[in-house]
Structure formats: structure tokens, C-alpha cells
Amino acid sequence: MATIGTTPPGSTAEPADAPDGAGQAGQAGQPGQPRLAGRRRRRRAPRWTAAQVALWAVLIVISAAFLYPLVWLISASLKPRAEVFDNALIPRTFAPENYLEVWNQLPLLHWVGNSFIIALLAALLVTVSSSMVAFGFAYFRFPGRSLLFGLVLSTMMLPGAVTLVPQYLIWKNLGVLGTWIPMFGMNLFGSAFYIFLQRQFFLGLPRELFEAARIDGASYFGLFRLIALPLSIPSLVVIFIFEFQASWNNLQSALIYLNAGSVEGFTAPLGIAYAMTKFSPTNGGQGDYQYVMVATLLITLPMLVLFAFGQRHFIEGVATEGRKG
């Protein structure tokens, strides 16, 4: 019952969820009616029992543990070189000049720009290709459809390590090593989880809508472009922000495909890895670790902003991922 209230409208999970939730509500309603009503009234009036206070205390302590590394990062980014390691959450000496100097110390603008373009292309490509494939599976009837869709799902379980080397060699033989294409080229072909997600969404759209448009003379591609896509913007946003995040954070591909090139050509994660070595005090680096902290914070911020705008989508998307299993 609670699911109905908390599931945001238009979320991808809804078509699958609503019947279950409704069924539960119906079942729960008959035998437990008076008790349920009583419980609801109690919940509305904020009465703090000892157990509730204890629960909140525990949750706040856990929050502190989860937030601490981020707060620590913000604080370290504002400290002068000598104090970076002192663990004081409020810097004894504020060094906001780190935020100006970091641009001279590291080609951060290049890294962020590269990552942004790659993530944007990766997210756009995978959104379009996955929803196209998903529409194929959701709307059309053709021989082998269930079998092929089973194959789509099975690729989700394929460990990425197996295809690392051959994919590198395929890109090499296509002559695109040294370009950005290997960083997002795979996204042209759709991605299993997104295909699954988007197919669920399309299945929730009333079929009559498409039949009517067919009668009005719309082509199959017209159905996709003029009806399916505009109606599924909420779930397209989910795919877009998921992939944007995945691409923004992707270290391994950058290590494989960009590490041999110039430092200016690095992505943000590869750049931070490089900066960690360059400024690390332990490995014979220069020890100006405050710049690593500033750079780290600056590449994390876009993800936090993305989360601020798309929080609902992230959490619903992850929850759906679990539901498919």
C-alpha cells in the first residue's frame, strides 16, 4: 500500500507495480480495516516515542559516517599544503586560492570538457539506440522475439573483463584507436538494462494509441518518433542520467584508450588518477595534495548536481534494476 503513495507518477516502475499494490490494498482493507485506520491516525499525529528518537539518533550517526568523507574533502580542498592531512573539519588556515591555482597546476578544464563531451555523446547515443530497440521488442510481433529478448537480458550477466581485449582489437582494426570513438562507440548498439527499462515503459502505453495512429496513416517509425518517444520522456531521462553518470565515472576505458595520449586528452577520472600520482607525497610526487582535493571536488560536483535534479530517477531506476531479478 505504501508503494502507491511513494511511487512517483510517470515512473518506470509504475506499470509493473500498480496491479500488485492495488491487490495488496484490497486484501489488507477487509480484515484489518479498523486497525489500519487507527494506525494511520497515529502516524499523522507526530508523537515521539522513545523508540522513534533512538531510531532517529542511529540514522543521524550513520548519516554522519556517510557524509564525513565528503565534508572532509570540501575542507581539505580549502587548506594550505601543510594542513591537508590534519583532519580538521574546519581549516585552521583558509586557502581559497587553491581554487584559482588548480587550473594552472592541472589541465582540469580540458579533462572536464573531454569528460563532458564524451558523457553527453555516450548518454545521447545509448538513450536513442536503447529506446529504438526497446520499441522493437515492445510493439512489434516477430518470430524469435522472446528468445532474442532473453539474449538481451543474458548479456547483462556477461562479465566485462571477457570482452575487454577483443573489443580493443576490434577498435584497433577499425583504425579508431587514439580517437574518442571507443569511449562511446558501443552505445550505438543499445545497452541491455536500458532496453529492458524502456521496454517496460513502452508496454505500459495503451496500444490503442498506436492503432489509431496507424489508421491515420502513420509509419512504424512515425509511431516511435511521434508517439512513443514524446510519451516516454521521464524514462528517457532516467536512461540519460544513468549513462551520463556511468560515463563520467568510467576509469577503466579511459585507462585503456586514452592513457597513451597527451595529458590534455585525459578524461576527469583519468586526470585525477594522474594527479594522485603527480602530487602524492608518498610516491615521490610533489606533495601538493590540496590540488588533488580541489580537482576531486570539482569533478564530483557535477554528479551531485545531477543527483539533485534527478534524485527520484536514480533511486527509482536502481529499485527497478532489483525488481527485474
Partner 1 sequence: MSADLARRAGSRGTKRTARRGREKYNRREALAGYLFISPWIIGFVVFMLGAMAYSLVISFSRYNLATNVARPVGTANYALLFDDPKVALSLANTLFYAVMAVPLEICVALGLALLLNRVGRGAGFFRTVYYLPKMTPSVATASVFLLLLNGNTGAINQALGFFGIPGPQWLIDPAWVKPSIVLMTLWGVSGTMVIFLAALKSVPRDLYEVAALDGAGPVRKFFSITVPMISGAIFFNVIVLTIAALQVFDQAYLLFWRDQTNSSPESSLFYGIYLFQQAFREFNFGFASAMAWVLFVIILLISLLQVKIGNRYVYYEGDKS
For residues 39-68, which are near partner 1 according to CB under 8 A?
43, 46, 52, 55-56, 58-59, 62-63, 66-68
CB of 93 to partner 1, least distance (A): 17
Residue from the set 8, 53, 212, 323 that interacts with partner 1 by CB under 8 A: 323
Angle at 68 between CA 286 and CA 66, to 5 degrees: 125
Smallest gap from Cβ 9 to partner 1, in A, equals 16
By CB under 8 A, the residues from 175 to 194 that bind partner 1 are 186, 188-190
37 sits in which H/E element? helix 33-44
Cβ(253)–Cβ(183) below 8 Å: yes
Is 164 a binding residue for partner 1 by CB under 8 A? The answer is yes
Candidates 8, 22, 35, 93: give the one binding partner 1 (CB under 8 A): 35
Counting residues that bind partner 1 (by CB under 8 A) gives 125
Give the 3-state secondary structure of 86-142: CCCCCCCCCCCCHHHHHHHHCCHHHHHHHHHHHHHHHHHHHHHHHHHHHHHHHHCCC
Cβ(214)–Cβ(196) below 8 Å: no
Rule CB under 8 A: say whether 248 interacts with partner 1: yes
Determine the interface stretch with partner 1 among 91-99, 100-108, 116-124, 200-208 (rule: CB under 8 A): 200-208
Q: Counting contacts by CB under 8 A, is residue 236 touching partner 1?
A: no
The residue (of 104 and 146) whose beta carbon lies closer to partner 1 is: 146
x/- mask, partner 1, residues 282-311, rule CB under 8 A, reads -x-----x--xx--xx-xx--xx-xx---x
Tell which one of 18, 120, 181, 203 touches partner 1 (CB under 8 A).
Answer: 203
Least distance from C-beta 267 to partner 1, angstroms?
10
With cell 516511435, the residue in question is 224
Q: Are 12 and 235 in contact (CB under 8 A)?
A: yes
Q: Which residue has the cell 588556515?
A: 93
The correct pick among 158, 212, 226, 233 for binding partner 1 (CB under 8 A) is 158
| Min separation Cβ 94 and partner 1, Å | 19
Neighbouring residues of 183: CB distance < 8 A, sequence distance ≥ 6: 118, 122, 247, 250, 253, 254, 257, 258, 267
At its nearest, how many Å lie between partner 1 and the CB of residue 287? Answer: 12
What is the closest distance, in whole angstroms, from the C-beta atom of residue 83 to partner 1 in the complex?
A: 11
DSSP codes, 139-189: H---TTHHHHHHHHHHHTTS-THHHHHHHHHHHHHTT-TTSSHHHHGGGGG
C-beta of 64: minimal distance to partner 1 in Å? 9
Q: Could you say whether residue 231 binds partner 1 (CB under 8 A)?
A: no
Q: Report CA-CA distances (Å) from 317 to 4, 25, 78, 233.
A: 16, 24, 35, 14
Query: Toward partner 1, which CB reaches closer, 41 or 141?
Result: 141
Q: What angle do CA 298, 249, 303 make, to 5 degrees?
A: 45
Q: Which of residues 75-134 bind partner 1 (CB under 8 A)?
A: 76, 84-87, 129, 132-133
